[in-house]
Amino acid sequence: MSYKRKDLLGMIDLSSEEITYLLDTAQTFCEINERDVKKVPTLKGRTVINLFFEPSTRTRTSFEIAGKRLSADTVNFSASSSSTTKGETLIDTVKNMEYMHSDVFVVRHAYSGSVKFISENTDASVINAGDGLNEHPTQALLDLLTIRQHKGDIKGLEIAIIGDITHSRVARSDIWAMKKLGANVRLFGPPTMLPKYIEPFGCRKCATMEEAVEGADVVMMLRVQRERQGKLLLPSTREYAKFFGLTNQKLNLAKEDAIVMHPGPINRGVELMSNVADCSRSVILPQVSNGVAVRMAALYLLGLKKGGQSENTAEKL
Amino acid sequence: MKTLLKNCKIVNYDKTIDGNILIDGEIIASLSASADEKADKTIDCKGKYVVPGLIDMHVHFRDPGLDYKEDIISGSKAAAAGGVTAVCPMANTKPVNDNSTITKYMIEKGKDFGVCDIFPIGAMTKKMDGEELTEMGDMAEAGAIGFSDDGKPVCSAEVFRRAAEYASQFNSFVISHAEDKSLAGAGVINDCETATVTGLRGIPAESEEVMVARDILMSKLTGTHVHICHISTKGTLELIRWAKAKGLNVTCEVTPHHFKLDDTELLSYDTNFKMNPPLRGKEDVEAMIEGLKNGDIDCIVTDHAPHHIDEKNVEFDLAMFGITGLQTLLPLSLELVSKGVISMNDFVRLTSYNPAKLLKKADRGEIAEGKLADIVVVDTEKEYEFTLELNQSKSTNSPFIGKMLKGAALYTIKNGKVVFEFPA
C-alpha cells in the first residue's frame, strides 16, 4: 500500500486502506518526536508553505514543527480569505507562491471547497488544513491515531461526537474517516447546530446528552465558538454548558475505559468541565502530540513525491 | 421584401398545420401561399418545425453599466442564436433601470441593432432599495413592460403592496423574485444532503416559499397581476396551484436549469452550477416538469445571467450567482418534447404564446396572418456540441458549454429578416 495522490484534501475521498497507511506512517513518526534530537533529513531542500487565509496558531505551529523536524524549509504566509482586500485573486496568490518553486502548500481557508479549488490550479501538492465548514483531514487523522493508541482497532467502537456538527470541519472529517474504518458514530448537539439533512453522515442522531454518552468508547466534544453566541445558534454559554456540556456525572454513563477528546482550544466550563478536561480519561494533550506526527506523515508522503523521487527513499529514514 | 418559407410544419399553441409561409415586410402575409410563390428569398423548411419567435421574459443584459459581462448587442446575438426574438431585461443594471431615461436607452439600443425586441422590466423601487416607489407611469409610457426588483426582493410587504397597487393604474404588473433573505442567510446552495456533504451553506426551500405565499396574498389584497419569478420548489408550485384555484391573478415561470438539473451537481463545487434560486432536489425537479405538463407553470424563461469568468473562477462562496441560458433554452425545452412530457404545441405555449399574453403583446406569440414575422425554423434532431465558437454571449458561465445538445434554431427571423442562421 502507498499514498499515490498529489494532495490530501479530505477524508471523504480516501479509502480505508489509504487512511490506515497514513496512520501507520504517522505512528513511525511518533518515535522521532520523542528523541532528544527531533530531526530527520528526509525533506531537506524541500519548501513547504503554510498558506493561511484564516487566523490559526496551533494548526499552523503544528505543521511548522512537523516540516522543520523533516528538515523542510517551512514558510508562513498569512492573508485574509476575502479576495477583495488586496485585489489579488486566490489563484494568483497561489500561482505566485508556486513560482517560488514551492513543493507543498498547507492551506487553511474560510470557504468550503476552496482548498480543492487551489489544488486544481497548482502543480504543487496541497494539504488541507481546514476549508470552511468542510474538512480538516489531519485533525481526523490525529484523532484516529489517538483512538488507535488507546483502543486498538477502530472497528466496532462506539464514538460520540457532541456539539456544533453543522459548522464543524472537524466533525465532517472525523465522521467520514471513522465510518470508513468501521466505527459506530453518534451525534448530539442543539438542533440549531445539527444539519437538517443528516442522513449522508450515516450516524445515529441522539435526543439527549445521556443517550449520546451512554456506553461510548470515545466521547469527542467539539469547541463552542463563542462568537456564535447571540447569533441565534445558542442563547448563552451558561445554558450550553448545562444541557450540552460534558460533566463528570454524564461521563460516568460512558464505558469505564472511555476516553475524552477535544480538537482544542477548549472552553473550560462550557463544552467541557475542568475536572473532565484534566481527568485521567482525557487524551486531549496526546492528541496534540499526535498532531505533529500525523502532519509529518502527510508532508513526508506528499513532499517526497514532488520531483519524481523514488518512493523507497522512505526506507532510508 | 418578401420571404417564402415553404414545406413548413407550422406549430402554434393549439395546433400544427402544414403550409407555406409568405412574409411581406415585417408581417406574416399568408400561411397558405403556393410553394412556387415568387419571393426575394425562399427557405425550404422540409422536415423542420416552424414556431413563433421565443419570448424570454427574464434576462439580464447588464446594459448600461456592466457591459464587461454582456450588453444589448451581445445579448441580442445570443437571443437570436437561441431562437429568441423578444426579451425582458431586468432592472439591475448600473445605474438601476428606475427611470424612463434608462428604459428608453435600452429599447432604442435594441431597436437600432434590430435583432431582438427589448421590453425592459422597470425597478419597483428607486435604486432597488425596497423603500420608495419608482415613477412607474413615466417608465410604462417609455415602454417598461412590468416592474420588479429582481435579485433584490422587496422585504417590506407594505412597499410591495403599494407598488402592486400603483402599477395597476398603468395597466402593468409586478414580478416577484421571491426570497426571504434573512432565511437564505449566507447560503450558497440548496439546503439538502449535498450541503451536509460539501460543507456549503444551505438555502432552505422555505426561504422562497414564504415569500411566494406573501406575494400571492399581496395579489389577493391588491388585485394586481403578480408574476412569480424562476420558481424552484415543489412547495412553491403547491402555493401557486392554491392561488390559481382561488382565481387569483397569479402566474409563474421556470428556468430550464430548474427542470433539468438537481442539487447533486454541487458535489463538484463547480461555480457554473451556482445560481439563485439554487438547484433543488430531484423531487422539486420532477414537480417542475409536472407543472409544465399540466399547465400550472405559465412559461419557460432563462434568467440569462452572464458573469465574467473572473467572477466565477473564484472560491465558491465568493462566486456570483447565475448562468447564461439564451442558447440552451431551446434544446433543453425540446428535450421535454422528445421525452414525451410535453407536445410541440405545449412548447410553443410555454415559450411564446403565454409570454406574449402576459406581456399583452397581441402582435406576436402565434404564427398567423397579420402577426409580426418573428419566426424560428427549428431542427429538433440536430445534435451538436455547445462550443465557445457557438456561444454568442460575452460570458461563458454555462454548465452546458462543452456539452452535447439536441435541437437548434436553424433560422431565426425577426420582423421578417433572417437575423441568425445556424453555422454550417
B334 neighbors B380 (Cβ within 8 angstroms) = yes
The Cα A87–Cα B314 span in angstroms is 12
- CB-nearest to A198 from B196, B201, B269 is B196
Shortest Cα distance from B268 to chain A (angstroms)? 9
Helix axes A169-180, A137-151, angle to 10 degrees: 50
Cell reading at A70: 523533516
Complex ipTM value: 0.92
Query: What is the SS3 assignment for B3-15?
Result: EEEEEEEEECCCC
Give me the pLDDT at residue A301, please: 96
Q: Which stretches of chain A are DSSP H helices?
A: 16-33, 58-69, 90-98, 114-119, 137-151, 169-180, 209-213, 237-244, 248-251, 274-277, 284-303
Chunked mean pLDDT (size 10), chain A, 317 residues = 92 97 96 94 96 92 97 92 71 93 96 97 97 97 98 97 96 98 98 96 97 98 79 88 96 98 96 97 97 98 67 45
Task: Determine phi and psi for B34, rounding to 5 degrees.
Answer: -75, 150
Residue B303 annotated to the active site: yes
Q: Quote the cell numbers at residue A292.
A: 505533529
Q: Are B143 and B194 in contact (CB under 8 A)?
A: no
Alpha-carbon distance A141 to A177, whole Å? 8
Interface touch A198/B316, C-beta < 8 Å: no
With residue B413 as reference, give the H or E element that holds it.
strand B404-414
> Which chain B residues are within 8 Å of A232, Cβ to Cβ?
none
Measured CB to CB, residues of chain A less than 8 Å from chain B are 12, 81-83, 89-91, 109-114, 116-117, 131-135, 169, 172, 195-201
Cβ–Cβ < 8 Å for A294, A59: no
Identify all chain B residues contacting A135, using CB atoms and an 8 Å cutoff.
199
Q: Which residues contact A207 (CB under 8 A, 6 or more apart)?
A: none
List the domains of chain B with CATH numbers. Answer: 2-50+371-421 (2.30.40.10), 53-358 (3.20.20.140)
Strands B84-89 and B189-190: unpaired
Per-residue pLDDT in tens (0 to 9) along chain B, 424 residues? 999 999 999 999 999 999 999 999 999 999 999 999 999 999 999 999 999 999 999 999 999 999 999 999 999 999 999 999 999 999 999 999 999 999 999 999 999 999 999 999 999 999 999 999 999 999 999 999 999 999 899 999 999 999 999 999 999 999 999 999 999 999 999 999 999 999 999 999 999 999 999 999 999 999 999 999 999 999 999 999 999 999 999 999 999 999 999 999 999 999 999 999 999 999 999 999 999 999 999 999 999 999 999 999 999 999 999 999 999 999 999 999 999 999 999 999 999 999 999 999 999 999 999 999 999 999 999 999 999 999 999 999 999 999 999 999 999 999 999 999 999 8
DSSP-assigned letter for residue B240: H
From the candidates A175, A197, A233, which should be mutated to test the interface with B, based on the most B CB atoms within 10 A?
A197
pLDDT digits (tens, 9 = 90+) for B285-319: 999 999 999 999 999 999 999 999 999 999 999 99
How, if at all, do strands A218-221 and A158-162 pair? Answer: parallel
* Lookup result for grid cell 392561488: B243
- Measured CA angle at B268 (ends B267, B269), to 5 deg: 95
Tell me which H or E stretch contains B86: strand B84-89
Contacts of B405 (CB under 8 A, 6+ apart): B328, B331, B332, B383, B384, B385, B386
Q: In angstroms, rounded to a whole number, what is the distance separating the alpha carbons of residues A174 and A185?
A: 9
The cell numbers describing B385, all together, are 456540441
Instruction: Please tell me the distance from the alpha carbon of residue A233 to that of residue A236, in angstroms, as a whole number.
Output: 9
CB B154 within 8 A of CB B166: no
Q: Set out the domains of chain A in order of their start, with CATH numbers.
A: 11-135+289-303 (3.40.50.1370), 137-287 (3.40.50.1370)
pLDDT at residue A227 in the model: 67
Smallest CA-to-CA distance from B320 within B334, B330, B309 is with B309
| A112 Cα to chain B: minimum distance (Å) | 6
Of residues A118, A67, A58, A63, the one with CA closest to residue A89: A118
Nearest-CA distance A229 → chain B (Å)? 17
Closest-CA distance of chain B to residue A111, Å: 6
What is the per-residue pLDDT across B242-286, written as a single tens digit (0 to 9) for each?
999 999 999 999 999 999 999 999 999 999 999 999 999 999 999
B202 contacts in A (CB within 8 Å)? Answer: 196-197
Contact A117 B315 (CB under 8 A): yes
| Distance between CA atoms of residues B424 and B413, nearest Å | 17
Contacts of A229 (CB under 8 A, 6+ apart): A235, A236, A237
pLDDT of residue A315: 45
CB contact under 8 A, B196 and A200: yes
Choose, out of A51, A117, A122, A135, the residue to mutate when testing the contact with B (most B CBs < 10 Å): A117
| Contact between A113 and B195 using a beta-carbon 8 Å cutoff | no
Instruction: Give SS3 for B80.
Output: helix
Task: Name, in order, each residue with C-beta under 8 angstroms of A78's C-beta and a sequence gap of 6 or more.
Answer: A52, A53, A55
Q: Are strands B174-176 and B375-385 parallel, antiparallel or unpaired?
A: unpaired
